[in-house]
Structure 1
Amino acid sequence: MSSAKNYSLEVSPDEHNRVVTFTVKKHPSLFLTYVRTPLATVLLAFLVPKAVAGVSGAFEWKLWSFFQQPGWSSVLLHQYILWFIQGGYSQHVECIVTLLIGVIAAALLSLQEPSDSMVVMANLGVQLSSKSRWRFLNRRSNKEFIPLSNIIDLVIHEGFHGYGQVIFYMCILTKAKSNSSDEGNGVNVVFPNFLPRKDILIQVWRHSRKILYGDQRRHFRHIPGYGLKEVQHLHE
């Protein structure tokens, strides 16, 4: 059974239409749009005074004497542990609640809509990137740049996904890292986390190829010992 794949496509060209960003993501949820920011603001408004009061109460009463003796840092840590142990049940509960509120606020601020992006740059190449649902999981490893000299073509294929589901997906065919015929060519799937509908793929494919190659028709032939080599189209 196929999924609805109700995704949105955002096309962001630059002023000269030479750098275009294609972004596929889900439609914005009501929670992220209207609830997340106000809720995080309320939690932070509760958290900040509690944190300041807790720190002041923990250190203020003997802080001046710690700096007048050697090894004051270890004494400070020891006194803080004693204060926490002897503070009573209510203070312990308050510290735990404050900590939990801080974790929830940080999680809300880190939450975002996941997306897959492809940046097409004329005469340069293509950059693929992905954003996870959590900001702290986004790393530089999520980005991959493919120079134009390594790109064979952008194609749309039909294949199986999941439990026998037939889908269309777009991929970038790249040249082998060496001229050895034993090494196959690379395949980089575009929008791998979403695999959007065919109509979105066709729109991205047409626009991307026009930016990279214009109206030129490109053909490659596998030559034994040399891998794929571009050949001129003889029947225009």
Structure 2
Amino acid sequence: MTKNVVEKIDDLVKIKTILVSVSDKSGLATFIPGLLGINPDITILSTGGTYSKIKEILGADAENSLKQVSDYTGQPETQGGLVKTLDFKIYLGLLTETYNPAHQDDLKRTHALPIDMVVVNLYPFTQTIAKENVSLENARGNIDIGGPTMIRAAAKNFIRVAAVVEPESYDGILACLNAKDGALGLNDRYSLASKAFAHTAQYDRAIADYLTGRSKEDVESCYKTGEM
């Protein structure tokens, strides 16, 4: 299999399309209006409770800027929000490279948007397992799949995409965007990528440690098993 080798990129990438899906919604009330204040034409893709929160923050302006991921992809969320963002159009938008003609053709073919920034933080797994008498099933339900996948895709493609994983980064990002006419530079995106991979590594480590620490009895007592 021949792998694509990227030789040309843009240093400054203007943020035009962002995908926001967060468990911790702190800071959004300042960050989202701040982004639109810098570039009123930004398109915001979002899901579930995050979509509702941003719609509340933006009020009437939401109609022009905010779009449900399910409307964008054409695929409704599954029961309980189990599958929301795991879609070809999303990952094409995250992984596409600016100077790759095949990628650009794929964007046109699927009517997909290149996504320039992902703002994601994860299901509260460590907070859940810290609670008294938490069950294995409660813990399992708080293992995030779509979030880490989006973060990793965005961070891998730091040559074009910004991966934002913590509200503490919002003010610095707005400052960078203000200073660079709505764009982030390569060094900005690279720094965010390193934070993003550290974030997912810590998350996976917490899950692995928790599961390793459960006994056979813990597992068997949590579920009723049937016979095939």
Larger CA Rg, structure 1 vs 2: 1
Structure with more contact order per residue of length (Cα contacts < 8 Å, sep ≥ 6): 2
Tell me the TM-score normalized by structure 1.
Answer: 0.22
As a proportion of its length, which structure holds more strand? 1
Tell me the TM-score normalized by structure 2.
Answer: 0.22
As a proportion of its length, which structure holds more helix? 2
